[in-house]
């Protein structure tokens, strides 16, 4: 079936299977920042924003995204670059596979939270796994990034 | 779960027509746990266009639309503590932005934390055709309703809280407990690993051990029944020691 999606402020006409998930649709559309990790809604590698809400695209039906604003790392290049700089400076960028999902989670967190205590940050980002960094470097980077922003 | 077709009805009548006229149809709430099921259905009925995502704060009860997400419950700011706390560690924020309360209830998932909370609060389920059914009766029965859950009515209580034990922060609970007190005291236990159940005989003189004697705990790959029972006793003791439940 054919649907029209708004991806990073651009209208895209796409052919999908009826029960296709947004992760597959986005990757077919050339949005390669969105990664397939666990494929069971557990790891957060596929995190994107739909209508300003963080979702796991591996379990979000593409058909449900019609008429909504889909945002990926490609849509926030300056913000993503800045977050990546802070993560790199803290030595928390290793394999990099989780980074796009983490960047989108940080982007959503900035809009969702009023109080950026470490407890709240850890709670918000608990769904974004990283198998390399041990999280400490990521947390330092996020705190420094939030100070700047 | 794979669907040959997904429809997005714009009214409850239309959704019910699809359900009644297609034998191999499945209602899609959040769709997250359906994703993990290895089966195929002819038709998926997506309820996301039916305006069933809302939380109304009434005088004596909360009315929660079936498509309200767990994240909406977490951030509501006024729902009972046991509900809010029960969903806080259900996966990450991304998952909670998709999982719906209606999907959790209708799936009767034995690992569910929110179902235990709803049971302890004496919630009532409002179905499109069959009307009102008590959460306790719905979870206890083995029948499957060919109907659409519209909303969940949660009575206001004086006090509620919950406890759960997980191997990791966002994991499924190994066992969970939720309690409330208002007109009467209710204690529910879930992830036993069976569906949530109520402790029937409650007496203020009962210890946590005596209260949990009424509940059956079983083994599964994640833990033994004896282990679950021990953890549940510790959690319920904590709640009783706070001294707020019997007031």
CATH architecture entry for A2-74: Roll (3.10)
Contact A126 B170 (CB under 8 A): yes
The C-alpha atoms of residue B177 and residue A28 are separated, in whole angstroms, by: 44
- Of A18, A40, A58, nearest to B3 by CB-CB distance is A18
pLDDT tens figures, A100-124 = 999 999 999 999 999 999 999 999 9
Coil, strand or helix at A96: coil
Contact criterion met (CB below 8 Å) for A34 and A71: no
Chain B residue at shortest CA distance from A128: B92
Whether the complex's predicted ipTM is more than 0.90 is answered with yes
| Structure token pair of residue A147 | 């100070």
Name the fold adopted by A75-148: DNA polymerase; domain 1 (1.10.150)
Instruction: Tell me the C-alpha to C-alpha distance, in Å, between residue B219 and each of B139, B149, B168, B174, B226.
Output: 20, 32, 19, 10, 8
Q: What is the pLDDT of residue A148?
A: 83
Coil, strand or helix at A135: coil
Residue B82 has pLDDT above 90, yes or no: yes
The C-alpha atoms of residue A62 and residue A96 are separated, in whole angstroms, by: 26
User: By the CB < 8 Å criterion, does A36 face chain B?
Assistant: no
DSSP letter for each residue of B32-60: HHHHH---EEEEEEE-TTS----EEE-SS
pLDDT band at B203 (very low <50, low <70, confident <90, very high): confident
pLDDT band at B143 (very low <50, low <70, confident <90, very high): low
pLDDT higher for A20 or A93? A20
User: By the CB < 8 Å criterion, does B237 face chain A?
Assistant: no
- Give the mutation candidate from B34, B47, B48, B94 for the A interface (greatest A CB count, under 10 A): B94
The mean pLDDT value for B61-88 works out to 98
Contact B35 A54 (CB under 8 A): no
Residues of chain A with CATH 3.10.20.30: 2-74
- Of B28, B32, B92, nearest to A126 by CB-CB distance is B92
What kind and span of H or E run contains A107?
Answer: helix A99-112
Contact A59 B48 (CB under 8 A): no
Q: What is the pLDDT of residue B243?
A: 85
Mean pLDDT of the residues in chain B: 95
- β-partners of residue B178 are B162, B188
Percent of chain B at pLDDT > 90 equals: 93
Residue B151 has pLDDT above 80, yes or no: yes
Residue B145 has pLDDT above 80, yes or no: no
The mean pLDDT value for B102-113 works out to 96
Residue B142 has pLDDT above 90, yes or no: no
Contact A59 B35 (CB under 8 A): yes
Using a CB-CB distance cutoff of 8 angstroms, which residues of chain A are in contact with residue B167?
none
Residue B112 has pLDDT above 70, yes or no: yes
Q: Considering only CA atoms, which of B159, B233, B150, B241 is closest in space to residue B199?
A: B233
Query: In what order do the strands lie in the sheet containing A53-56?
Result: A10-15, A2-7, A69-71, A47-50, A53-56
User: By the CB < 8 Å criterion, does B5 face chain A?
Assistant: yes
pLDDT band at B129 (very low <50, low <70, confident <90, very high): very high
Name the fold adopted by B159-242: Enolase-like; domain 1 (3.30.390)
What pTM was estimated for this model as a whole?
0.96
Residues of chain A with CATH 1.10.150.120: 75-148
**Domain ranges across chain B:** 2-46, 55-155, 159-242
CATH architecture entry for B55-155: 2-Layer Sandwich (3.30)
Coil, strand or helix at A105: helix
The mean pLDDT value for B102-122 works out to 97
Q: What is the pLDDT of residue B153?
A: 98
Instruction: Tell me the C-alpha to C-alpha distance, in Å, between residue A107 and each of A49, A94, A149, B85, B225.
Output: 9, 20, 11, 25, 42
Shortest Cα–Cα distance, B244 to chain A (Å):
26
């Amino acid at each position: 079936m054919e649907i029209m999606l708004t991806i990073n402020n651009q209208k895209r006409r796409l052919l999908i299977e009826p029960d296709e998930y947004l992760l597959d649709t986005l990757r077919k559309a050339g949005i390669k920042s969105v990664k397939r990790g666990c494929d069971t809604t557990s790891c957060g590698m596929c995190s994107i924003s739909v209508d300003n809400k963080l979702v796991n695209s591996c379990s979000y039906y593409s058909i449900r995204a019609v008429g909504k604003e889909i945002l990926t790392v490609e849509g926030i290049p300056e913000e993503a670059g800045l977050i990546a700089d802070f993560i790199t400076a803290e030595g928390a960028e290793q394999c990099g596979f989780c980074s796009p999902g983490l960047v989108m989670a940080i982007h959503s967190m900035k809009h969702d939270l009023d109080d950026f205590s470490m407890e709240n940050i850890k709670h918000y980002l608990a769904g974004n796994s990283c198998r390399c960094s041990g999280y400490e470097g990521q947390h330092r980077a996020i705190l420094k990034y939030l100070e700047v922003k | 779960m794979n669907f040959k077709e997904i429809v997005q009805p714009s009214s409850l009548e239309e959704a019910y027509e699809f359900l009644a006229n297609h034998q191999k149809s499945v209602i899609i709430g959040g769709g997250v746990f359906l994703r993990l099921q290895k089966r195929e259905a002819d038709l998926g009925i997506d309820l996301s266009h039916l305006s069933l995502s809302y939380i109304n704060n009434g005088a004596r009860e909360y009315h929660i639309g079936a498509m309200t997400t767990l994240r909406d419950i977490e951030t509501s700011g006024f729902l009972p503590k046991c509900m809010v706390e029960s969903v806080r560690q259900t996966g990450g924020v991304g998952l909670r932005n998709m999982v719906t309360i209606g999907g959790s209830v209708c799936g009767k998932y034995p690992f569910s934390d929110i179902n235990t909370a709803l049971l302890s609060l004496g919630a009532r389920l409002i179905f499109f055709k069959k009307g009102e059914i008590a959460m306790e009766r719905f979870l206890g029965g083995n029948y499957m309703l060919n109907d659409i859950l519209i909303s969940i009515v949660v009575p206001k209580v004086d006090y509620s809280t919950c406890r759960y034990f997980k191997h990791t922060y966002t994991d499924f609970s190994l066992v969970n407990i939720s309690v409330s007190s208002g007109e009467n005291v209710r204690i529910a236990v879930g992830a036993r690993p069976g569906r949530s159940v109520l402790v029937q005989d409650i007496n203020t003189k009962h210890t946590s051990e005596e209260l949990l004697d009424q509940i059956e705990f079983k083994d599964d790959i994640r833990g033994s029944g004896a282990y679950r029972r021990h953890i549940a006793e510790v959690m319920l003791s904590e709640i009783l020691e706070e001294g707020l439940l019997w007031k």
